[in-house]
Amino acid sequence: MKRRVFASLVLTLPLIAAAQIQLGGLDRTTEVKKQHVELLTDSLQLTANKPQDVELRFRVEPGFHINSHTPKDELLIPTELKLDAGPLRIADEQYPPGSHFRLQVGSGEDLDVYQGEFRVALRIEAPKGGSTLSGSLRYQACDNAACFPARTLPVKISVTAK
């Protein structure tokens, strides 16, 4: 009996190992596109039932810039936050002004961008208890010489109101 169990293990373990190595290839096929912006705010502590000003902090990957909410050219894709308020009430949403960036290709181009950290200000009111502020940030990132297609960064922030 023990021999059978041992033999089964000997035969099964390499099979599992081989399967794991093979499945490594599947991970790549389901790989999501790399983000160039990260959300720095993961939670908000509020006073219940009272409108308050909060900031959602984001950071653009070093070496990259994204268009501001109001880019200079109508063809450029603006940074835009879309939130599902749920039980929360969002009274106002303010984007920061962009900073000047000179694209150094050929004759160059002046852009209005976010680089490094930027903050979107919200005026928000929450009922007592816990809730989630979810949504997405749509942005389009470039470096000095090239651009990536627009990406959507999921936004999920836990809100506690006391």
Partner 1 sequence: MIALVAVLFWAGVHNLRHRRALSQVPHITLIPASAAADNSGPPDAEGSNLRGKDAPAFTLTDVSGKKVSLADFKGHPVVVNFWATWCGPCKLEMPWFQEFSAKYKGQGLEVLGLSQDDGASRQDVADAAKKLGVSYTILMPDEAVAKKYGGVDYLPETFYVDRSGKVVEVTAGAPSKDQMEALIQKTIAAGGA
Binding site for partner 1 (CB under 8 A): 11, 14-15, 17-22, 24-25, 28, 33-34, 63, 75-77, 103-109, 111, 140, 142-150
Q: How far is the CB of 149 from partner 1 (least distance, A)?
A: 7
How many contiguous H segments (helices) and E segments (strands) does the chain have? 1, 12
Q: How far is the CB of 96 from partner 1 (least distance, A)?
A: 21
Tell me the backbone φ, ψ of residue 64, rounded to 5 degrees. Answer: -120, 160
Q: How far is the CB of 13 from partner 1 (least distance, A)?
A: 9
> Closest CB to partner 1 among 84 and 110?
110
Tokens 């990957």 identify what position?
Answer: 61
> Closest CB to partner 1 among 22 and 162?
22
CA 36, CA 113: separation in Å to the nearest integer? Answer: 14
> Closest CB to partner 1 among 41 and 136?
136
